[in-house]
């Protein structure tokens, strides 16, 4: 194999997706830097589900005034049970539309107040850090 091909394969491997779990502590600074307000990891503020998530929880309000609550589970295997918990805790009128406001990425489950704009969603996703 030519050296150029080997270098390209090696470089591609460096950009491979990580499985390291995201954490509230690793993510909080980015939310503040990106203009989110009322950013907190306090269990009393993030709510029961995110407050008891293994890797913490965050609540933050986007510059567009849409609040997101994020529960950081142990790993991606906890995402379905965390989503189920958010579904069960949602008001009855929201349950049929929960997929409009709930997203997941690796071990993080994000629940917005209203359907997030693409800007809010991409900023929040970019702020998820180990």
Report pLDDT for 17: 62
pLDDT in tens, 66-124: 999 999 999 999 999 999 999 999 988 888 889 999 999 999 999 999 999 999 999 99
Q: What is the pLDDT of residue 7?
A: 39
Q: Which residues contact 3 (CB under 8 A, 6 or more apart)?
A: none
Distance (Å, whole) CA 105 – CA 63: 21
């Amino acid at each position: 194999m030519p050296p150029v091909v080997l270098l390209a394969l090696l470089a591609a491997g460096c950009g491979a997706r990580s499985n390291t779990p995201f954490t509230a502590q690793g993510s909080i600074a980015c939310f503040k830097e990106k203009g989110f307000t009322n950013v907190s990891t306090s269990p009393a503020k993030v709510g029961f589900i995110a407050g008891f998530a293994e890797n913490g929880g965050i609540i933050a309000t986007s510059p567009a005034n849409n609040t997101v609550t994020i529960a950081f589970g142990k790993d991606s295997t906890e995402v379905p049970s965390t989503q189920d918990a958010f579904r069960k805790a949602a008001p009855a009128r929201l349950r049929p539309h929960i997929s409009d406001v709930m997203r997941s990425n690796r071990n993080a489950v994000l629940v917005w107040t209203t359907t997030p704009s693409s800007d809010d969603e991409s900023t929040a996703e970019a702020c998820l850090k180990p």
